[in-house]
Amino acid sequence: MNRERPSSDTLPDQRARENADSPRRLVLRRPDDFHVHLRDGLMLNALVNATARQFGRAIVMPNLDPPVTTAAGAEAYRSRILAALGEQDDFKPLMTVYLTDNTKTPDLEAGFKAGVLTAAKFYPAHATTNSALGVTDLRNLYGVFNAMERLKMPLLVHGEVSDPDVDVFDREKAFIDRYLAKLVNAFPALKIVLEHITTEEAVDFVVAAGPNVGATITPHHLSINRNSMFHGGLRPHFYCLPILKREHHRLALRRAATSGNPKFFLGTDSAPHDISTKQNGCACAGIFNADVAMQVYAQVFEEEASLDRLETFAAEHGARFYGLPLNQGRIALEKTGSIVSAEFPAGKSRIVPFKAGSAISWSFVGKVADEHHS
Ligand code: DOR
Ligand code: ZN
């Protein structure tokens, strides 16, 4: 593979579409990230501060090793996150618990009522990173789902089957057909977030479902399609789960994100791995995008001539779905191009960010006083 070759993370059509009428500066309500991996230990400090720079709150994934499976575990993890937050103490981590076949309803209920837990995460066993302890059969959790429906506690779903007989590119659709449709019917009032959707079928499913079903959309699934993984060689930094799909799926995600439909909201799925576990014979799944998230979303919304809808997607739809107050602060972005750094250091780890070495058209300015909205 030719390592000198620039990475193909910008599609030609995107490069061609620049909206001449776009503002040079955007001031938005401070957004939230409704799906992020902050990891733990030495990496945590750099990661939480990268997320806190852009976002007021974040739904923190529980797939640590070992996973966070109890309210007490989530409370301890929250304390470690708060301790790692430097000056940025106006950031609020929203904690989740990882469902297993043995999740105890009273623990979940007590954690939710105490405000420790915001949501619970369902990973099908073996679907992705650190999911070995995930749920082997959804029916094992029907008692838990009953309680969550009553409590209005959101269920966050990694929507892929782990059946090795199903083609990796079809696993999201298979999950919807085999399990999600049934789950939604069995618990018609359960709040469900189909996380990091990647297909037109997922968009259609969410649109057709009731207002209790929403979805997060990542910057990378909006920006690139599966060709990027194979451009000039095998590119592990574009490998994530659910895997990137065909172009028509990317276009469906762009339409959903920019449609103004409140069911669709921001969730970066920023999922860092050390360079040694990415550039490896068996590369880990996950794309780290926390430091370029809002810049990339802004670029996508601009390309779709929908910059006026970025704020609701990034700072309102998710909060409303979760029943949270809107953030009061403001952030600014500016239309000054920059090159994304080649590496992001986090503790002893080196992480290759999304769009590393590539030009992006927006820069993140930071928190600003309440200026007149662009
Ligand atoms: O690409 C992914 N990485 N997908 C996931 O579901 C998990 C995540 C991770 O934790 O690295
Ligand atoms: Zn994730």
Query: Looking at the 3D structure of the chain, how many domains does it have?
Result: 1
Is pLDDT at 84 greater than 60 in this prediction?
yes
- How far from 59 is each of 13, 51, 118, 230, 267, CA to CA, in Å? 33, 11, 8, 31, 8
- Segment 19-27 shows an average pLDDT of 79
CA-based max dimension of the chain: 56
**Residue nearest atom 10 in ligand 1 by C-alpha distance:** 129
Residue 55: inside a domain: yes
Q: What's the 324 CA to ligand 2 centre distance in angstroms? A: 21
Containing structural domain, residue 94: 34-326
Is pLDDT at 228 greater than 70 in this prediction?
yes
Residue 357: inside a domain: no
Q: How far is 133 from 135, CA to CA, in rounded Å?
A: 7
Residue 46: inside a domain: yes
Is 165 annotated in the active site?
Answer: no
Residues with CB under 6 A from ligand 1: 37, 63, 128-129, 158, 240-241, 271, 285-286
Residue 4: inside a domain: no
Say what the pTM is.
0.94
- Segment 160-177 shows an average pLDDT of 96
Q: What's the 58 CA to ligand 1 centre distance in angstroms? A: 16
As a whole-number percent, the residues of the chain with pLDDT over 70 amount to: 93
Residue 286: inside a domain: yes
Residue 144: inside a domain: yes
Residue 292 maps to which CATH number? 3.20.20.140
pLDDT value at residue 290: 98
- The two tokens of residue 286 are 């996950």
Residue 104: inside a domain: yes
Q: How far is 268 from 296, CA to CA, in rounded Å?
A: 10
- Class of residue 75 by CB neighbours under 10 A (exposed 0-12, middle 13-18, buried 19+): middle
Is pLDDT at 11 greater than 90 in this prediction?
no
The pair phi, psi for residue 101, each rounded to 5°, is -60, -20
Question: Does residue 242 have a cis peptide bond before it, meaning omega lies within 30 degrees of 0?
Answer: yes
Tell me: the pLDDT tens digits for 270-292?
Answer: 999 999 999 999 999 999 999 99
Tell me: the pLDDT tens digits for 154-163?
Answer: 999 999 999 9
Burial string for 34-73 (b: 16+ CB within 10 Å, else e) reads: bbbbbbeeebbbbbbbbbbbbbbbbbbbbbbeebbbbbeb
Atom of ligand 1 at shortest range from CA of 273: 11
Catalytic residue, chosen from 9, 32, 269, 291, is 269
Is pLDDT at 9 greater than 90 in this prediction?
no
Residue 199: inside a domain: yes
Report residue 21's pLDDT band, with 50, 70 and 90 as the boundaries: low
Report residue 12's pLDDT band, with 50, 70 and 90 as the boundaries: very low
